[in-house]
Amino acid sequence: FSIHALLVVTVTLSPVTVVAQGENDVTGEDVYPPLWDLAPENLLDFPVKDNKIVINAWNYQDRLGVYKSLLNASAKYFGAFGPQNSGNILWGLPLQHGWQFRTGRLVDHSGVTSCGYENGELLCQSVRSWWSCMNYYLAIIPFLGAVEAGLFGQLPYEIEILLPEEQKDDFCYSVKDCWSRMPKLMDDWKAFFEVNNFSSFKLDDALGFMWKAHTSSIAYALPKFQDRLKYLSESEANFGVDWANGVDFIAATHFITDLPTTNNFQFFLPQRMLVEGDVLPSISDFSPEQNKVLVSLRALHKGNKLTGGLLLKLWQKAMSTEAGRKMGRKLIESLVSS
C-alpha cells in the first residue's frame, strides 16, 4: 500500500469534496450546492410557529438552510481568509451534502416510500438513507452546538427540530436533548464555535477543533446506522464505510475546507450511486481518477483494519505538528494537480 494511494484517499475523503463534473474548473451555480439560492438565509427565515423556529431536518432545503445560517452567522470570523465568506471552513459541510443530494444518496433506498424521488417528494430526505442519517450528525448536531456556543446571539424564539416519521430514537432534537444523550459530541462542536469567537484565532487551531468535532460525529453515528447499509448495493455500502474510515486520515492534516479548495477537488467523487455490477478499477462511466479513488479507499480501509488501526496512528503521528500538517496538505495538492 503506497503513500500515493494514501494521499489520493486523503484528498477524496474530505467532506468538502463534491460531485464529479468531468472537469476541474467549476463556475457559476456549480460552485454551490443545488438549490442554494432557495435555502433560508438565516434562522428567522424559517417558519415560526407557537413562538418556535421550526426546522424540518428531513427536508433538503431546510437542512441546507441550517448550513447557510451557520455560514452567515460565522462569516465575520473568516473575513480575512477570502472575499464573500469564501474562506469559511464550514463550506465543506453543505458542499458534501449537495453532492449527496445531486447523486441520489438521500432518497429512500428501501423502496418503501417515494421520499426523495422525482415522482414523489423531491426535497424529502429519507430516514432510511444511510447518507442522510449520517449527515444529520454533521448538520443538526453542529448547529445545536453553535446555538449553545452563542453563535446566533440571543434568539427571540426557541428552536424546534421536527422528528422523522420513524426511527425517532436515533436522533436528538434540541440542545438539552442532545446534551443529555451525547455530551462529548456536543462539547466538541461547542468548542469549535467558541474558538471562533476570538478576534485573532489561528486558522490551524480552528481547523483542529472542527476536524475533532467532525470525526467525533462520524464515530458516534457510524455504529448507530449500520442497519441502513442493507438498503444499499454492496459496492455503495463499502464505499460509504470506506469514506467514513478515511475521514480520520484527512482530519489529521487539518485539511482546509473553504469554498475554493473544496471545488478544486470536486471531480474525485463518484457522480452517481454505486450499483451491483460496478467492478473496480474499471467502472466504465467513471473517470480513471474516480476509479483510482475508490480502489484507494478500499485499500486504506482494509490496511487500517488489518493493522488494528496502526496505519491511522502512524499517519496521525506524521501530522502531529503544524509543519507536518502543512506538508501533508501540500502533498495532497501536488497529487491532485499532477
Sequence-ordered alpha helix ranges (H) in the chain? 3-12, 60-74, 92-102, 130-136, 140-149, 175-181, 183-195, 203-224, 234-252, 259-264, 288-306, 310-318, 322-337
What is the reported pLDDT for 119? 81
| CB 173 within 8 Å of CB 143 | no
Give the CA dihedral 192, 198, 204, 208, nearest 10 degrees: -20
The full length of the chain comes to 338
Distance, in Å, from the CA atom of 98 to the CA atom of 271, rounded to the nearest integer, reads 12
State pLDDT tens for residues 284-329: 999 888 888 888 888 889 999 999 999 999 989 999 999 999 988 8
| CB 56 within 8 Å of CB 221 | no
What is the reported pLDDT for 197? 64
Average pLDDT over every residue of 233-243 = 95
Whole-structure pTM value = 0.90
- CA triple 274-279-285, angle to 5 deg: 65
What is the reported pLDDT for 334? 61
What is the reported pLDDT for 335? 56
User: All 3 cell numbers of residue 69?
Assistant: 445560517
Distance, in Å, from the CA atom of 152 to the CA atom of 162, rounded to the nearest integer, reads 20
What is the reported pLDDT for 263? 78
What is the reported pLDDT for 15? 41
